[in-house]
Amino acid sequence: MQIAVPAESAAGDTRVAAPPETIKKASLIGVPKETAPGEKRVATVPEVVEKLVKLGFSVAVESSAGDASNFSDETYRAAGAEVVPTAAELWARSDIVFKVRAPSPDEVALMREGGSLIGFIWPAQNPELMQQLAGKKATVLAIDSLPRQLSRAQKMDALTSMAGVSGYRAVIEAANAFGRFFNGQVTAAGKIPPAKVFIAGAGVAGLAAIGTAANLGAIVRANDTRAEVADQVVSLGGEFVKVDYEEEGSGGGGYAKVMSEGFQKAQREMYAKQAREVDIIITTALIPGKPAPKLITADMVKSMKPGSVIVDMAAEQGGNCELTEPGQAVVKHGVTIVGYTDLASRLAKQSSTLYSNNLLRLTEELCKTKDGVIDVNMDDDAIRGLTVIKEGGITWPPPPPKIP
Ligand code: NAD
């Protein structure tokens, strides 16, 4: 829609008419039902719908999109969303689609040409998806590509919020598979010792697991190659167990580096000792872009007490334990090994709420004018970092952000 420019008032008027000004229409944000098998999360919860409407957007939600995370169509309607019956209609009408998982080829086929998409994309792992989206002349903001080192980006950091939920859930899965209390108790029926939990890797998920296991009353120990996390481990109620080998594990940007052979040997010896002593091991060790380090060998599993539990959070990246089967819970040598790769989805209401808050914060950054129109400002480091396709042109990988 355009504003008409008044015709020249009189013949011979030499004033130059102002260029036609475009009034941009407020966008419709669409939230489809997730289609990946077993995925229970939804990208926007009703509470966030209300806030998006206040930012000037209209919101449409596919019918039953929130069912698996306990948000009914009715609650979406009450929050101001339109509920549409089919995915085809939702994708065709939406100017901006909010998703959790990267879209399938069938979903991209439904997308309107020139539309926008915000969600997990993983551009390095999904080159074909990137091409397909570029073919749609889409603008795509990959929440996984957010420059997490920018402090301003923290409020939008869905990787962190999902890892936090997953670390919590890993402890709940461990408690469910473990045949005893976590806390020590003195009862008339006997004295019960507290469970001992060892956490390998104290990043976001590991720290959440430490706090949760300590709150349940277990004795918690943890190790990480980055010595800088020791204080955080202690502040959450854990004990930091050092590897008896002098080597710093920080590889920059808050991530670990691959350690030397000498360190790895000393670390294996320490982990073997922990495996013999503890009841539960939760592994979260990861260096981005590398296969998960194998920290728990088959022999260590064999040495654990019968009824012990391992939750291997790195299952999707090949696992920190040699005997993990991704997506499964298996019993080997009397030890339950949980390799679920959908821990956040197993706490769908909580993770959907946190995820949609992250997307809301991002939307606020994109729509400072509060008129339902987004501005993908490529001069903004945070926005530049996560914009992987702009109007059909692939803009990933971005240049490194300028950290103030
Ligand atoms: P993160 O990068 O914050 O933490 C990983 C930690 O591992 C870092 O602190 C790093 O220093 C440490 N580390 C690396 N190599 C190590 C080694 N050899 N020994 C000891 N520590 C080492 O990552 P995060 O967000 O906490 O995620 C942790 C893992 O959990 C990742 O594999 C992630 O993909 C996975 N995850 C799984 C699920 C699931 O559903 N299973 C959900 C979320 C995250």
The pLDDT tens digits of the residues spanning 8-39 come to: 344 445 555 555 556 678 999 999 999 999 99
Confirm if 83 and 73 have CB atoms less than 8 A apart. yes
- The closest residue, in CA terms, to atom 33 on ligand 1 is 314
What confidence category does residue 403 fall into, taking pLDDT thresholds of 50, 70 and 90?
A: low
The pairing of beta strand 387-390 with beta strand 239-240? unpaired
Partners of 260 in beta bridges: none
Q: Which protein residues touch ligand 1 with a CB less than 6 Å away? A: 162-163, 166, 200-206, 223-226, 249, 255-256, 259, 284-287, 293, 295, 313-317, 340-344
- The closest residue, in CA terms, to atom 43 on ligand 1 is 163
Could you identify the atom of ligand 1 that is nearest to the CA of residue 288? Answer: 2
What the block records as the tokens of 111 is 């997308």
What the block records as the tokens of 303 is 């040495």
- The closest residue, in CA terms, to atom 41 on ligand 1 is 341
Q: What is the pTM of this model?
A: 0.92
pLDDT (mean) for 43-48: 98
- The closest residue, in CA terms, to atom 3 on ligand 1 is 203
Q: pLDDT tens digits, residue range 195-233?
A: 999 999 999 999 999 999 999 999 999 999 999 999 999
Partners of 280 in beta bridges: 197, 309
Q: pLDDT tens digits, residue range 321-371?
A: 999 999 999 999 999 999 999 999 999 999 999 999 999 999 999 999 999
Range of lowest pLDDT (76-85, 177-186, 349-358, 395-404): 395-404
pLDDT of residue 404: 59
Could you identify the atom of ligand 1 that is nearest to the CA of residue 250? Answer: 11
The rounded Å distance from CA 340 to ligand 1 centre is: 14
Residue 41: pLDDT above 80? yes
Confirm if 174 and 197 have CB atoms less than 8 A apart. yes
Residue 303: pLDDT above 70? yes
Residue 185: pLDDT above 90? yes
